Amino acid sequence: LEVSYPSAAWAQTCLDIIEKKLDEKLWPFVSDQVPTTSSQATVSTRFGHWHKSKPAAEYLTGPRLIIYVLGGVTMSEMRCAYEVTRATKGEWEVVIGSSHILTPKSFLDDVQTLDQEAPEDV
């Protein structure tokens, strides 16, 4: 059973970011855009990948788009990132993250506490 929540508007915004439909004057890149090449993927040695014999096709070789959502990310936004990565067959890798994952209940809990004073840091 798949539950659907009315967060399609946020997922559409996320999709617009991924598909570069936003005005680059209002939404600039943090660094210069890297042209797509068919070079070999970089393999990290921090986790001991040297001993694993993965075929080259298993490593993503295209550009990586990293999205960090302030204030929480929804399941719809995460799914959108996954579907774009899957649809491009490894030509693009979309990595999405946030400080926390928003559920309908956690969102309502956050809204309920808006009128309360912020806790003082110790």
Domains of the chain: 7-26+59-113 (3.40.50.1910)
How far, CA to CA in Å, does 42 sit from each of 37, 63, 97, 99?
13, 11, 22, 27
Q: Greater confidence, 35 or 93?
A: 93
CA angle 118, 121, 122 (to 5 degrees): 140
Give CA–CA dist 38/36, Å, rounded.
7
* Token pair belonging to 1: 């059973």
Residue by residue, DSSP assigns 55-77 as -GGGS--S-EEEEEETT-EEHHH
- Per-residue pLDDT averaged across 5-25, rounded? 64
SS3 at position 93: strand
Residues 88 and 61: beta-carbon distance below 8 Å = no
Q: Which pLDDT does position 23 carry in this prediction?
A: 73
pLDDT for residue 40 is more than 60: no
Q: Is the pLDDT of residue 32 over 50?
A: yes
Instruction: Give pLDDT, residue 114.
Output: 87
The model's pTM is 0.55
